[in-house]
Amino acid sequence: QVTLKESGTGILQPSQALSLTCSFSGFSLSTTGICVSWIRQPSGKGLEWLADICWDDGKGYNPSLKNRLSISKDTSNNQAFLKITSVDTADTATYYCARRPFITTTLDYWGQGVMVTVSS
């Protein structure tokens, strides 16, 4: 059974760094083709893909967030991480991680999401 669960800082002040962890089970990020993505959704708005990391340590980033994103993984502990630097109120959102079973396939399993609020 595939499950993913996000965790991270709930409330941040502007300019701080946001660190998120995706803990998963039922698959391994060492399996050929597998990727884990991060997606966010401000309240009442659409979905925005942020980044993903694949089995071979290949990474993709959303250029709209420029150099603020950093994605990494700990294969042994079945975790993926996302760091966003210099947050501001526009980063307030629910953050999801999701699996892609192969790099050419879509996001099939999603975590429940973690809400992050940036406020002074």
Q: Which residues bind other proteins (CB under 8 A)?
A: 37, 46-49, 52, 60-64, 96, 98, 100, 104-108, 110-113
Residue 32 CB neighbour total at 10 angstroms: 9
Q: Which residue is it, tokens 């630097």?
A: 85
Q: Which is nearer to other proteins, 83 or 103 (CB)?
A: 103
In angstroms, the CA 39 to CA 47 distance is 7
Work out how close the CB of 77 gets to other proteins at its nearest, in angstroms, rounded to a whole number. 22
Q: Which is nearer to other proteins, 27 or 110 (CB)?
A: 110
Q: Which is nearer to other proteins, 85 or 101 (CB)?
A: 101
In angstroms, the CA 85 to CA 70 distance is 9
Cβ–Cβ under 8 Å, residues 34 and 88 = no
